[in-house]
Amino acid sequence: MTELLIQTVVQGLLVGGGYALVALSLGLTYNVSGIINFAHGDFLTLAMYLALALQTAWALDPYVSTVITFPLLFVSGVALYWFLLRPVARSQLLMVIQLTLGVTFVLQNGILMVFGGQPVRVPSDWEASLLILGDSLFLRTPQVLAFAGSLLLALLLWIVLDHTETGRRIRAVHQNPRAAALMGIDVPRVRTLTFGVGIGIQAIAGALLIPGTPIEPGQGFRYTVIPLMALVMGGLSDFRGIYLAAILIGVTEALGTVFVSGTSGMIVPYALFVLVLLLRPQGLFRRA
């Protein structure tokens, strides 16, 4: 029983690291643009299918394909913000939500038309690799790499935001766009490039999450809702809280799946979400 509990918790930590990777990019785009992109998870799905296309055409490993998919998604994110979201950014919240949901339907149906609706796998050299710790702890190497990638992204994000001129500009636009503009910062440019980077990170997340995992056109909803839960639980602008919230969601999801009978286990992460909203509505680390 103890071995099963340890294996489940570690598995949840690794899954939560994958969620954190997506949640951090969602938090980056939200905090600079003020827009919650409900198509965020569908860009992750798009990145996975692009990796599939590159693997089929040129036999590129998903990890290697990132050098192509990242620029493509970065340009897509820039275009999405500049041509669609920026003109309506000051409109009613419902209009912005409807627009991003429209992008979701376009991406899902476009993927469905091109690749079909059957779940597929993208072969990778690391797909069947295992790390064995001790006598009973078995970890899939792709999940370990995804967790390491999320840690690296969180560290890189902290360094950029806290120790670079670009990061200071991003934080200034987040805190007070009008004052930032008066200080000579090109606010639309900062928002556009940051939104592009946030979408581009989905290419990295897709490459890290794809080995050994079946993909299908409608999975983007899951990778929007769970990172959005982590974003709210973490306090919206606190990246430490967002990261920890994603990890907690991964762990509770794993525990619920193993120790709660039937499909009821899938309710456990949402129960955690409600509990955090009741006890810490300001976020895990933020003061009231």
Domain that holds residue 55: 2-279
Report the run of H or E that residue 156 belongs to, with start and end: helix 141-163
| Cβ atoms < 10 Å from Cβ of 141 | 17
If 0-12 CB within 10 Å is exposed, 13-18 middle and 19+ buried, where does residue 28 land?
buried
- Does residue 286 belong to any structural domain of this protein? no
CATH number for position 259: 1.10.3470
Burial 248-266, CB ≥16 within 10 A → b, else e:
bbbbbbbbbbeeeeeeebe
- Does residue 152 belong to any structural domain of this protein? yes
- Does residue 284 belong to any structural domain of this protein? no
pLDDT at 122 over 90: no
- Higher local confidence (pLDDT), 179 or 259: 179
pLDDT at 20 over 70: yes
Alpha-carbon distance values, 144 to 9, 129, 182 (Å): 14, 10, 45
Q: Report the number of distinct structural domains present in the chain.
A: 1
Single pTM value for the model: 0.94
What is the per-residue pLDDT for 107? 96
Those residues whose C-beta lies under 8 Å from the C-beta of residue 253, and which sit 6 or more positions away, are 12, 15, 265, 266, 268, 269
Beta bridge partners of 139: 131
What is the per-residue pLDDT for 217? 94
Q: How confident is the model at residue 3 (pLDDT cuts 50, 70, 90)?
A: confident
- Does residue 288 belong to any structural domain of this protein? no
Residue 55 structure tokens: 């693997």
- Does residue 189 belong to any structural domain of this protein? yes
